[in-house]
Chain A
Amino acid sequence: MEGIFWWVIFPYLTLAIMIIGSIYRFAYGQLSWVAPSTEFFEKKWLKIGSPLFHYGLLFAIIGHIMGVFIPIEFYHWMGVSDHLYHIGAIYGGGLAGLMVVVGAIILLIRKMTIDRVRVHATFADFFSVISLIIVAGIGVYMTLVYNLTVVEYEYRLTIGPWFRSLFTFNPQYELMLGVPFIFKLHVITGFALFASVPFTKLVHFYSVPVHYLGRSPQQYRSRVGYKRRGLE
């Protein structure tokens, strides 16, 4: 019955912590809700590390949506063969993962070696960066090394349906039991990372300012009657 803990209780618990914690912090901790940039202290290394990391993460998120959210039947219906999908997933996903890992390592070294940045880095800052490196590192290992040397693992038949079943509140945990260990580890560390979101600077990912594209350039605001927006 260990499956029930790891593939039912643990995911729901971590997601609950993430959602409730984020809402709580949004409601009561607006003053700490920021993208805590240190560009003001150091620009040279940030210029390489930060875009590499963030764009890599963006591509990786898109990759996860393609691999885990979209069912395999959709690809078959589209006429994408499994082989073609895996070539795309391995090289595209591998590149995105490498960008994340390399970018995050540059940022971590920068955080540790540049005095002005290090002095103001908190435990939570290091925790986020290091755990992202671990999660993304496992992801890169399974995408590039495991898939190419052991077997092209078809996670769209196991992890994908299991993950989607979480959202229908009918978790099919038995699907996860036969999944290779390294994939299990990626999923578990990933969910653990989700749980840490409300307690670290990672909350800034909720605040991608897409509404900026559609808003009027000048903002007038009256002293009375201003209503705050909800989650961006």
Chain B
Amino acid sequence: MRIKAQVSMVMHLDKCIGCHTCSVTCKSTWTNRPGTEYMWFNNVETRPGPGYPKQWEDQDRYKGGWEYKDGKLRLRAGGPLSKLKNIFYNPNMGTLDDYYEPWTYDYENLIKSEKSEHLPVARPQSMITGKYIDKPEWGSNWDDDLAGGSEIVPMDPNVQELQEHIAMEYEKTFMMYLPRICEHCLNPSCVASCPSGALYKRDEDGIVLVDQEECRGWRFCMNGCPYNKVYYNWNTHKAEKCNFCYPRTEAGLPTICSETCVGRIRYIGVVLYDADKVKEAASVEDPQDLYEAQLDCFLDPFDPEVIAEAEKQGINNEWIKGAQDSPVYKMAMKWKIALPLHPEYRTMPMVWYVPPLSPIMNHVTNEQELNTDGYIPAIDQMRIPVEYLASLLSAGDTEVIRKVLLKLTAMRVHMRSINVGGIDPLNESKLLDEAGMSVEDIEDMARLLGVAKYDERFVIPTGRREMDDDLHYEQGACSIEDLAPPEGMVTYPFERGS
């Protein structure tokens, strides 16, 4: 058992209002430099829709993630040999046009133009070439709130796989928001795709980072990541990606996207997992088993054996306590209401989503008289087809989605009976039985999802600086320490850094 800690996030989609505050604060923190204008480490997509970059879920094209073939787990885009062969031209990589050409406006013209009959205008100007763009045809969130409607929606790869016809009439259609950051996967395919070894997963907190000094710009990470969340900076010619705001999380603060989330949809916490189990879990044959296999990798932070072993492997008490109080552990592992995005990519993503319950079934008109038997089939009649959610969050397994929606419905009914009343207690308990949750769990869940405060939503132990075990050595170290033997008394019989 090799215990590692992972800082992880849950997003409760019911509460996302699609305001893009997360994207904007992230951008102004991390990607407001030349070369990064088109990058959104955090973006919010309207679904159904093609997403950003366009059709990123189309793995026949981008060949991201892993595939299980002939009893072996391998990169879909090909292993090291085929990568070296393709190093001069990567056939699967997207280009700027798959994202969008960033532009600004020629504001100066508003001030400097000569007096004329017509008002001066600020024309759009490309931030790549500096030329005027006469007619911008795509941009970040061009398709926000289903803009483009029936022309744009069918570009969604999930829609293309959906059996049933998606109604595009205003009264019948559906819509949801999907905020996306880097998944900081347990089995990251970007890391495995990097020929230079510049991408790595941090031992301490599982954050996946790009070493800017070692990156050589080979670009295989861009499409090797099935979520297309590694970007190419055309100015520095190096890869950049979401870094989970590690300077903030190390100080115990939430990421900037979470901190500024208006709907408070985001939760951050630590989970413990067994790194030895990851490869095996990513190699189960049926993609629909991947979700369960991933859950099997996580360790119970209350188990005395796990605690003892974690302490032995150098995970300190603060982090074990953090794993016990973790909102992510509760939602994803204990109550199982948060699901991984596209588990079929076999990367074991670590950003979890609570599927949206609303807009609630439109044929439930008289909720006071509705019995349990009425709620359960209603889940299948919801506006957002269960099949669509399943193709996003459970590799197409609708049963997983139904279970989560049932739990959320049970919570809704239970809380309604407390606050408003008028619900038959017998039916209510039948619904709770069906959802498989105790009253305590349901009430705990309602609190966490509804009214949890800052320190309940974000349980982030600080970076383990005391693990940088040379601190007192470094205080008295001389500047040529790697060349000369340490000065003064030798207090370290061991090799440093071991």
Contacts and interface: CB of A to CB of B under 8 A. Distances in A.
Q: Do A and B come from one complex?
A: yes
Contact of A31 (B192, B212, B468, B497): B212
Interface string B184-209: 00011001101111011111100000
Contacts of A120: 234-235
A221 B238 contact: no
A41 B217 CA distance: 14
Contacts of B84: 209-210, 212-213
A219 B217 contact: no
Interface in A92-141: 115-116, 119-120
A111 to B, nearest CB: 14
Contacts of B212: 31
B33 to A, nearest CB: 13
Interface stretch (B109-117, B126-134, B285-293): B126-134
A210 B80 CA distance: 9
Contacts of A218: 187-188, 191-192, 201
Nearest to B279: A218
Interface stretch (B42-50, B87-95, B406-414): B87-95
A34 B128 contact: no
Contacts of B296: none
B232 interface: yes
A143 to B, nearest CB: 23
Contacts, number: 133
A47 B90 CA distance: 8
Given A209-B218, A223-B468, A115 B192 contact: no
B122 interface: no
Contact of A41 (B81, B90, B95, B469): B95
Contacts of B81: 213
Contacts of A47: 89, 91
Nearest to A232: B196
A39 B215 CA distance: 16
Contact of B201 (A30, A210, A219, A225): A219
B318 interface: no
A3 interface: no
A90 to B, nearest CB: 26
Contacts of B433: none
Nearest to A225: B497
A219 B237 contact: no
A210 B195 CA distance: 8
Given A31-B212, A34-B216, A39-B219, A115 B236 contact: no
B90 A223 contact: no
A228 B213 contact: yes
B216 A220 contact: no
Contacts of A1: none
A180 interface: no
A39 B196 contact: no
Interface string B230-264: 00101111100000000000000000000000000
Contacts of B88: 50-51, 53-55
Nearest first, the 7 A-B pairs at minimum CB distance are A225-B497, A209-B195, A217-B192, A30-B213, A34-B217, A221-B200, A222-B203
28 contacts: A31-B213, A34-B216, A34-B237, A34-B238, A35-B237, A38-B234, A39-B89, A39-B90, A39-B93, A40-B95, A42-B95, A54-B88, A116-B128, A204-B216, A207-B196, A209-B196, A209-B216, A210-B84, A213-B81, A215-B197, A218-B187, A218-B201, A219-B191, A219-B194, A220-B200, A221-B203, A224-B469, A228-B213
Interface of B: 75, 80-81, 83-84, 87-91, 93, 95-96, 128-131, 187-188, 191-192, 194-197, 199-204, 212-219, 232, 234-238, 275, 463, 467-470, 496-498
